[in-house]
Every structure is written in structure tokens, then in C-alpha cells.
Amino acid sequence: MKTLSEIADIIGESSIAAKYREAGKTAQEAYISLFMREDSLRTNRQAKLVRPIALGLLDDTPDLRKKAQDSLEKAVGAFDYRVGTGFLSTPFLLKALSDAGKPHVAYKVLLNEKKPGWLYEVLQDSTTVWEYWEGKDENGKGSFNHYSPGAVCEWLFNTTCGIIPAGDRFFEISPIPGDMFTEAKAVYKSLYGEVRSAWKKENGKLIYTISIPSNCAAVINIQGQASTKVKAGLYRYILDK
């Protein structure tokens, strides 16, 4: 409903936009009333907490959103930092944690070698991401190259390396290095050219290298530094770890 209201505003249908906004607000309030009561937040079901956080259902209730984020951290810890979400919520899990200011928890889940988890598949000699964490279901069926768990790649782009398309010829670069990683790099092949973001730890320093293509601009957010708006070019930052 919120998306439809934005579309209606753009095409000049203000009365329809108002109708959709009201419907969206009512749906949001109903969801919170039914599924986000105080007792509902005391749960170890990761998906139940990930969905409202990731889909913005709690954005208008910051106190409730914070409680849901803290509950999600506890739920992930209770499951030994393994993936406890299903097909529709797994793509949101790491982003929900890092957006909550808990990237260290997201990295612990990412690098967990136990099942269910991405590195478990790697240790089983997988070169793709499976539909089922076990490889096959009870009937011996299952895809060995599947989107939902594979959506973790989006988080590696927009959080680990921090490449985020943020408008026409405009990008946000907000990398968040992981404590267990020594380096990371990503290349986004945009319509206007390649956007590159890389970082590495070397001799007690954290070195960032960022490239913005011609006729584009970006805002660069390096942890501990002021945001900087830049034009096309190559940028390097060297900071103490």
C-alpha cells in the first residue's frame, strides 16, 4: 500500500495516494497489534522477528523495533549463531542484524561452519548455494543452485563492501569490515560503468579503495569518519584498525 501511494503521488493521483497510505497505515497497525505484542517478542523464531524489521513494519515504532532487534540477536545466539530462517526470510537475516547495529552477530552467522549455514555447504565441497541446507529433502530431491539462501551475496555487496545504488548515477559506499576477515572486494557493473569497493587489513592499518565511474557521484561512509560526497574517481583511505 505504501508503494502504491508513492506511485499514485508521482502520477498526480493525490486522492488515490491518500487512500493507499491510510490502508497501509491500518495494515501496519493491525500487524503490530496481532503479532508484535510484548509476549510475542519473547521468541526464538528468527523469521518472526526478521520479517517486520526488514519490511519496515516497525519503523514508526522505534522502541518496539529496538526490542525486536534485541530479541533477534538473542534468538540467533540461542540457535548457536546458525541460520534459523526459512525460504522467504533468509535473504533478510544478515541485513536485519547489521542494520540493527549488530554486524558482528551477522558475521558470526555468515562464518558459522555448522548446519544450517553457508560455510557448511562449502565444507561439503559445494560450489553453489543449495535449496536445502542438507543438500536434498527426505525424498532425495532439491536444487543445488538456489536463490533464497544465495541472496546472502546481496549482503556481501551492500554491507561487507558497502555498494548501494542510491539514485540516478549516484551510489552510496558504506563498507563494514568484519573482524574475522582480512580483506574483501566487490565490483558492481552498473549501467554507467564499474563501481568498485575494497578493503584490507595490513600492518595494523585498514585500507579502503573505492572507484566511482565517469559521470557519476557517490557518498562515501567510512566507519569513524565523516561522510564525504565525491565525484567520479579513485579514492583511498588508510586508517588505524
217 and 194 inside one domain: yes
* Residue listed under C-alpha cell 542510491: 166
47 and 28 inside one domain: no
| Domain termination site, one of 102, 125, 154 | 154
26 and 130 inside one domain: no
190 and 205 inside one domain: yes
List pLDDT tens digits, range 53-66.
999 999 999 999 99
The per-residue pLDDT for 137 is: 77
C-alpha cell at 83: 541460520
Q: Where are the beta strands (DSSP E) in the chain?
A: 163-167, 170-173, 183-190, 193-202, 205-220, 228-240
The per-residue pLDDT for 197 is: 98
Segments of the chain scoring below 50 in pLDDT: none
List pLDDT tens digits, range 151-204.
899 999 999 999 999 999 999 999 999 988 999 999 999 999 999 999 999 999
CA 24/CA 18 separation, integer angstroms: 10
23 and 43 inside one domain: no
Distances in Å between the Cα of 64 and the Cα atoms of 57, 84, 133 are: 10, 22, 32
1 and 63 inside one domain: no
The per-residue pLDDT for 138 is: 78
Range of the domain at 180: 161-240
Contacts of residue 130, defined as CB under 8 A and 6 or more positions apart, other chains included, come to 121, 142, 143, 144, 145, 146, 149
169 and 147 inside one domain: no
The per-residue pLDDT for 132 is: 86
| Domain termination site, one of 154, 170, 200 | 154
Distances in Å between the Cα of 207 and the Cα atoms of 172, 200, 224, 232, 236 are: 18, 5, 13, 19, 7
210 and 105 inside one domain: no
The per-residue pLDDT for 40 is: 82
* Total number of domains in the chain: 3
Give the CATH number of the domain where residue 194 resides: 2.60.420.10
232 and 179 inside one domain: yes
29 and 43 inside one domain: no
49 and 145 inside one domain: yes
